[in-house]
Amino acid sequence: MKDTTRHQGKRRLLVQVLQDKGIANAAVLKAIGKIPRHFFMDSSFEDHAYQDKAFPIAADQTISQPYTVAFQSELMQIEKGDMVLEIGTGSGYQTAVLCELGAKVFSIERQQELYKKTKLFLSKLGYRPRFLSFGDGYKGLPEYAPFNSIIVTAGAPYVPKPLLSQLKVGGRLVIPVGDDPQIMHLYVRTSETTFEKKEFGEFRFVPLLEDKN
C-alpha cells in the first residue's frame, strides 16, 4: 500500500468537492485530506477511491460516501477527548476520521469478518480507537456510556432506545432513519428526559440489521 503524490492530489480535489457541497468544518476537511481512503478499499477500486461515492467492501457492505462521512461528522460537533460511539465499523474509514478528530472512539460491528479485518488494519495504520466491539449496535455499549456523540452508519428502521439513553445531556445522536432512502436525523439530549430532533436530507445506507439470536 502506497500513498503517492497522485493519491494526495486526488484527495485535495475531493476535499474541494466536499467544500463546494457545503462542508465547512475545518477539522473534518483536514481529516479527509489526510486519510488515504484507498487503503480502506479493495485494490480494484483504488482508482475510484477519491470519487465522492460509496463502494463495496467485504461481507456485502459498503464504505460510506465521503460527503456522507463529512456530513455526519460535522453534525456530531466533536471536540478533542469526546467519548464517541460508532455503530457499523465497516471498513474503518469513518472510525479513522473520528480518531483524527481527537475523539475517544468506540465502534461496534456485527459482521465478524469485517470486525476482525478492520481491527487489525486500523492498528496497522496507527489508529487507536479505545474499543472495537463485535456485537449488535442496537444495544449500544452501556458499559462505556455515556457518550458525547453517537453515529450510526447504517440505515435504521427506527431509533434504538438504548442509543438515546447512552447520550450525555447535551450529547448528539446522528442517525439515518427509514427505508431506502433514509432521512438523516439529529437528536440532541436536552435534559435527562428530553430530546430535540432535527431532520436533514436524504442519504442511502446499507440496512442496520437486527440480530435475531
- What is the set of active-site residues? 64
Classify burial at 174, counting beta carbons within 10 Å of its beta carbon; exposed 0-12, middle 13-18, buried 19 or more. buried
> Among residue numbers 139 through 158, which ones bind ligand SAH (CB under 6 A)?
153-154
Give the separation between CA 98 and CA 106, rounded to whole angstroms.
10
Exactly one of 36, 129, 137, 171 binds ligand SAH (CB under 6 A); that residue is 137
Exactly one of 36, 66, 88, 176 binds ligand SAH (CB under 6 A); that residue is 88
Exactly one of 25, 72, 73, 111 binds ligand SAH (CB under 6 A); that residue is 111
Amino acid at 92: G
Q: Is 36 in the site for ligand SAH (CB under 6 A)?
A: no
Q: By rule CB under 6 A, what count of residues binds ligand SAH?
A: 23
Exactly one of 36, 66, 90, 129 binds ligand SAH (CB under 6 A); that residue is 90
Contact between 114 and 63 (Cβ < 8 Å)? no
Cell of 52: 465522492
Helix (H, G, I), strand (E, B) or coil at 39: helix
Return the range that interacts with ligand SAH (CB under 6 A); candidates 76-84, 141-149, 185-193, 202-210.
Answer: 202-210
Q: Is 109 in the site for ligand SAH (CB under 6 A)?
A: yes
- How far is C-alpha 20 from the geometric centre of its chain's CA atoms? 21
Return the range that interacts with ligand SAH (CB under 6 A); candidates 45-53, 71-79, 192-200, 205-213.
Answer: 205-213
Which residues, in sequence order, are bridge partners of residue 149?
Answer: 84, 172
